Amino acid sequence: MKILMVNKFLYARGGAETYMLKVGAFLESLGHAVQYFGMYDAQNTVGNRIDEYTSNMDFHEKRLSRFLYPFRILYSREAYQKITKVLEDFNPDIVHFNNINFQLTPSIIDAVYKKKIPMIMTVHDYQMICPNHSLYSIKDKKPCEKCIHGNVFHCMKGKCIHSSTTKSILGVIEYFLYRIRKNYKKIDLYICPSKFLESRLLLSRPKVYKGKTKVMCNYAKIPDLTEIEKISKIEKKDYVLFAGRLSKEKGVEVLTETAKLLPDIQFVVAGDGPDKKVLENIKNVHLKGFVSGNEFFRLIAEAKFEVVPSICYENCPISILEAQAMGTPVVTAGVGGMAELVEDGITGLHVKPMTAEALAETISQLLNNDEKLNELTENCIKKADEIVTLENYTRELFETYTKIIRGK
């Protein structure tokens, strides 16, 4: 089978890119032909045979050309023309979209549709519902569902995209452009990593998405346990772990205040991001930076438990799956996709609402209750084999491709 993977970034930059690259690589290992289309960047690690990509757009640069971006992020003729060349050269059996907004635009959907090639999209966030992609109000600092029923104009008033009026206006225009051009009706299937995300899609536009969604929980990378001890033999150490991007929506401010409320408890933080500074100079917070490989998995496995204090509706956090795969309970907000992954009182605990005070109390109580903590840990170890692996995920995805192609 020939598969064209499409994403605006073609290198390991975030969750969507990691997902696409690993799935694509495994499909190739099974003997399928995989090519990629997206934006040109010197960091790209994958591509297509004829080297056709859209021009690079860096929204943080200060060159004069950036003032042309508003015209290019709404409907890119360049993207339409270049993906058409790739389609004509590669002639894929199916096109798999990931994150395409802004840099690639809905023009590429039109190009694939014109060629009558089947299309699926993995929905990595809430961009089809909400202009800022997160169902989160920057102004109110809490989840927001006003966009679900089409009330997106508040996005401009609340400056929901990067606290910028201009970017928020462009986001709203983009939202309506996709609707007016009926782009989302042209896609054959939407893969949703959580039931929560699927439910929000169906609430937002049931006529568009009904019968066109499939829930597939994300996969988790499972380490080679021959290089580190078996999960059941790993000795826990006296620290609580946070692993992920250090940004507001991930609950970094909550984590910071929680650490200050619990000065005698050690917090290990694996990750980087724009809000790293708020965690610096706190004596009981140990910043490890970006950690990978077996060193990262050992860090997870040796933690008493992991905290995921996100204040937005997370979709399907891989950090939770990785923790459970390593036999480590998770304390998280009981909302969005997080509530589906963590069984309250079984494989972790839910904190509602997710405030520093509530999280501090939950952490303190759990660390003082060895019996409960051991129970949660044992349950995670027992359920580790149920975590979806990359291999199983990709095989199910291929079966999905086949059904879509035959349906055409």
Does one domain contain both 198 and 341? no
pLDDT score, position 263: 96
Q: Is the same domain home to 402 and 260?
A: no
Residues 125 and 267 in one domain: no
* pLDDT tens readout for residues 237-267: 999 999 988 988 899 999 999 999 999 999 9
What pLDDT, on a 0 to 100 scale, did the predictor assign at position 64?
40
Same domain, 382 and 398: no
Q: Is residue 226 part of a domain?
A: no
User: Contact, 98 vs 38, CB < 8 A?
Assistant: no
pTM (2 d.p.)? 0.87
Closest CA to 314 of 153, 125, 103: 125
Residues in the chain, pLDDT under 50: 62-69
Same-domain pairing of 260 and 198: no
C-alpha dist (Å) from residue 211 to 19, 47, 84, 194, 400 = 24, 32, 28, 16, 14
Predicted local confidence at residue 66, as pLDDT: 47
CA–CA dist 169, 1 (Å, integer):
41
For position 46, which CATH number holds? 3.40.50.2000
One domain for residues 117 and 235: no
Structural domains of the chain, count: 2
C-beta atoms surrounding 116 within 10 Å:
7
Same domain for 188 and 105: yes
Cα–Cα distance for residue pair 351/249, rounded to 1 Å? 16
Say if residue 301 is in the same domain as residue 200. Answer: no
Instruction: Flag whether 177 is in a domain.
Output: yes
Same domain, 212 and 266: no
What pLDDT does 203 receive? 93
Element (H, E) at 35: strand 33-37
Supply the pLDDT for residue 358. Answer: 97
- 365 in a domain, yes or no? yes
Same domain, 106 and 240: no
- Does 224 map to a domain? no
pLDDT at position 67 is 42
Does one domain contain both 298 and 357? yes
Looking at residue 102, its pLDDT comes to: 77
Name the residue range of residue 295's domain: 231-386
**Tokens, residue 81:** 């023309």
